[in-house]
């Protein structure tokens, strides 16, 4: 591992010129990611809201849905990074230099948020499936007189809860794909010939055979 040399904030520096040339595409990618994430996260929030609102009083606890709520909150947070990347691209187009390490640092932070949210959502998904199974068994044990109506309500509400989780997971997947695209632009600006084996988006990288 070695520390990459800092890039001087000189608009004539080759790396900054390469980044400026990619600014238009960067704005398109970030804008598309923002729109997709916004739609998916809002849909997930709506589904979660109705799963809470329609939850029968006798259907058991709802604590497992708090994992989804946190995942949705982090989803809205990661959308802010798309706005940050659009702003940096606009600065480049206006001949204002933007440090590649600043872009890389924000990429890393956003990726950490996404991974943490995905882990929480995975835990919430397992808890929701377990709760659905437990509630179904409890409903069946309650007797045939009230089991049918309650079972339909429980299944309907839990389907909404599962939809909220899966939609939020898709939102974070879109964010990670967006980050990967921006990361490739940053790496291509520094190593236009390729040859980089791997990089950690905070300025650390494995030494390249073909690159500098």
Percent of the chain with pLDDT over 90: 25
Position 207 scores a pLDDT of: 42
Contact between residue 32 and residue 110 where contact means Cβ atoms under 8 Å apart: no
Give the pLDDT band of residue 76 (cuts 50, 70, 90): very high
Domain locations in the chain as residue ranges: 2-205
| Spatial distance between the Cα atoms of 1 and 107, rounded to a whole number of angstroms | 20
Q: What is the pLDDT of residues 135-174, one digit of tens each?
A: 666 655 555 555 444 544 555 556 778 888 889 999 999 9
Does the structure show a pLDDT above 50 at 208?
no
Residue 131 CA: distances (Å) to CA of 39, 59, 65, 69, 139: 28, 10, 10, 17, 12
The mean pLDDT value of the chain amounts to: 76
Question: Who's near 167: CB < 8 A, 6+ residues apart?
Answer: 40, 41, 43, 44, 47
Contact between residue 78 and residue 108 where contact means Cβ atoms under 8 Å apart: no
Entry pTM: 0.72
Instruction: Using alpha carbons, select from 93, 111, 74 the residue that is nearest to residue 27.
Output: 93
């Amino acid at each position: 591992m070695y520390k990459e040399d800092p890039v001087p904030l000189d608009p004539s520096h080759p790396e900054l010129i390469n980044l400026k040339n990619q600014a238009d595409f960067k704005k398109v990618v970030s804008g598309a990611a923002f729109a997709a994430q916004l739609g998916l996260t809002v849909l997930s929030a709506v589904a979660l809201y109705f799963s809470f609102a329609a939850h029968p009083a006798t259907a058991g606890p709802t604590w497992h849905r708090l994992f989804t709520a946190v995942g949705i909150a982090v989803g809205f947070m990661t959308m802010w990074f798309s706005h940050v990347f659009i702003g940096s691209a606009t600065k480049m187009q206006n001949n204002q230099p933007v440090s590649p390490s600043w872009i890389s640092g924000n990429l890393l932070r956003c990726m950490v948020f996404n991974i943490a949210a995905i882990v929480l959502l995975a835990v919430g998904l397992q808890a929701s499936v377990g709760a659905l199974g437990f509630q179904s068994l409890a409903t069946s044990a309650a007797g045939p007189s009230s089991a049918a109506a309650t079972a339909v309500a429980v299944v309907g509400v839990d389907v909404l809860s599962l939809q909220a989780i899966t939609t939020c997971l898709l939102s974070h997947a879109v964010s990670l794909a967006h980050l990967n695209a921006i990361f490739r632009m940053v790496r291509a600006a520094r190593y236009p010939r390729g040859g980089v084996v791997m990089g950690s988006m905070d300025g650390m990288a494995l030494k390249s055979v073909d690159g500098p």
